[in-house]
Amino acid sequence: MKDLITIRDLSRSQIDHMIELALSMKKDGVYPQMGSKKVASLFFENSTRTRLSSETAAMNLGCLVNGFAGEEGTSVKKGEPLLDTARMLEAYDYNLMVMRHSLEGAARAIAEQVKIPVVNGGDGSNSHPTQTLLDLMTIKEYHGTIDGLKIGLIGDLRYGRTAHSLLHALEHFNVEVYLISPKGLDMPKWRIDDYEERSKRTPKLLRQLDTAIPELDVLYVTRIQRERFAQGIDGEVEFSKVAGKFRVDCELLKKAKTWLSVLHPLPRDKFNLEIAMEVDHTPHARYIEQARNGLFMRQAILSLLLRNDLSTEREIPISHGPKLKARAIPNGVKSGRRMIYRLSHGTVIDHIPAGLGMQVYQNLKLAGISDAEVLVALGISSESMGSKDVIAVHGQNLSVDQVYRLGLISEKLTINRIENERVVEKYHIELPSLIEGIVQCGNVKCITRPEHREFIKTKFFSEKDRNNQPMLRCYYCEQLFERGQLELV
């Protein structure tokens, strides 16, 4: 594995190995020397700990470090695409880059385009893998184990990337997870679904901390991510509804187990103080040690990547195009009241979910075909679907691109090829494992969205959800979508 982009790329044994390596570096105070390798630190977004600990880690390994903190003073301000900025580092013979960006999937997009290792230091609300590794290291160091613990994540679970990555990492451990958030800042449903699917456990969803606090071994507090709320008055109003909602103070901690550790990725927000300053002096407070562990964990990560010593166990699918699954043809010719149009030659797209007929018509660009007659029938009664739309295209077979597009709309669709008024072939469309450049990501913060003008072609992996329904996962922002939910490009 060349890069560290998301915690999901790591297996349990890789996570354990990285924790052990970081703990041993901390204990022994001995760090491998990487011989003047050059590390670039590209922080497009604000940072204190991630940037400084990564840079210090690189220096401790004997690397040379250069980069920037914030877009001010860089050509980003002149409108430079992210890809160009990143390519420069490769051109200047850097050996690795650590980057943080506000768009989700930014680190993945860069990692795909450059040959040197990329470490994701945070991509919008999506992911923060190095933070999660240091969080786990801190839990392991203090409690001696991660398995068997009751771990509460509290605060901004909607926008907080540290909570997202930590939840996914905990899929590998035998823990009980409590998700405690104010209304409006809940953990996204698709992330909980992923957690349940992979861990076969269900997290407890709570609105209050006081009932949960006596049960917990670890309390992971997060800041309300003010910068992720909408700009302007609407965002201000939303923020004021949730700001200061939870506060961990000494009074509350009286109800906690003596060994409860309070963690926080930091910074805390001095205007709302999700952890009161007085807590710093209690044995519960682990967040300063946690931040210190960031140095050792990042030394471990950088040394592994610079030596190309991090293997991957994740398979990345490759594209084979859409698969057509032949269906039985009942009797070739249909007659009676459901017959809407008798075609001599052409294609009938049947079982379009009612209401999507016109969308299909437009997406397939059927309006532009001059010598074909196209008939769109809406709201036809159907035994299997109740109501359906049907499109008949006279004298035309569908192109591969059109079949692809149909497959992305619904799995229920059938394509019927007609010759001499008979159905000669009938298909369902199965999505390929990789879908590139055809649908747009539904996440407005995803790096691939055209309005961000970063020119990253979309890439989706098809997956099955718990109910065996086909779903699409964006390779960049990692979000999961139902097919049919996404707009075609």
Our answer to whether residue 452 is catalytic in this structure is no
Catalytic residue flag (residue 100): yes
Write b or e for each residue in 215-231: b if 16 or more Cβ atoms lie within 10 A of its Cβ, otherwise e. Answer: ebbbbbbbbbbbebbee
Catalytic residue among 49, 101, 268, 459: 49
Among 67, 122, 152, 357, binds ligand NCD (CB under 6 A): 122
Exactly one of 38, 101, 128, 286 is catalytic; which is it? 128
Closest CA to 389 of 412, 429, 356: 356
Q: Does 357 bind ligand NCD (CB under 6 A)?
A: no
131 binds ligand NCD (CB under 6 A): yes
Q: Say which DSSP state 397 is in.
A: P
Nearer to ligand NCD, 50 or 479 (CB): 50
Cα 63 → chain centroid: 31
Set 6, 37, 38, 50: catalytic member = 50
Q: How far is the CB of 131 from ligand NCD (least distance, A)?
A: 5
CA atoms within 13 Å, Cβ hemisphere of 166 = 33
Do residues 382 and 357 lie in contact, with contact meaning Cβ atoms separated by under 8 Å? no
Q: Of 162, 293, 448, 458, which lies in the binding site for ligand NCD, with binding defined by CB under 6 A?
A: 162
Known active-site residue 49: yes
CA–CA gap between residue 380 and residue 358 (Å, rounded): 14
Please report where in the chains the tokens 């691939």 appear, as a residue: 448
Residue 129 three-state SS: helix
**Which 252-281 positions form the footprint of ligand NCD (CB under 6 A)?**
265-266
122 vs 353 by CB, closer to ligand NCD: 122
Beta strands across the sheet bearing 38-43: 64-69, 38-43, 96-101, 118-123
Residue closer to ligand NCD (CB basis): 67 or 265: 265
Quote the least distance from Cβ 346 to ligand NCD, whole Å.
55
- Exactly one of 6, 50, 120, 290 binds ligand NCD (CB under 6 A); that residue is 50
Strand order across the beta sheet in which 434-436 lies: 434-436, 459-464, 470-474, 480-482
Strands 422-430 and 470-474: unpaired
**Residue 49 touching ligand NCD (CB under 6 A):** yes
Asked if residue 363 lies in contact with residue 488, where contact means CB atoms within 8 angstroms, the answer is yes
- Contact between 128 and ligand NCD (CB under 6 A)? yes
152 near ligand NCD (CB under 6 A): no
Q: Residue 223, interface with ligand NCD (CB under 6 A)?
A: yes
By CB under 6 A, how many residues form the interface with ligand NCD? 10
Using CB under 6 A as the binding rule, whether residue 161 contacts ligand NCD is answered as: yes
- Residues annotated as catalytic are 49-50, 78, 100, 128
Give residues in contact with ligand NCD (CB under 6 A). Answer: 49-50, 122, 128, 131, 161-162, 223, 265-266
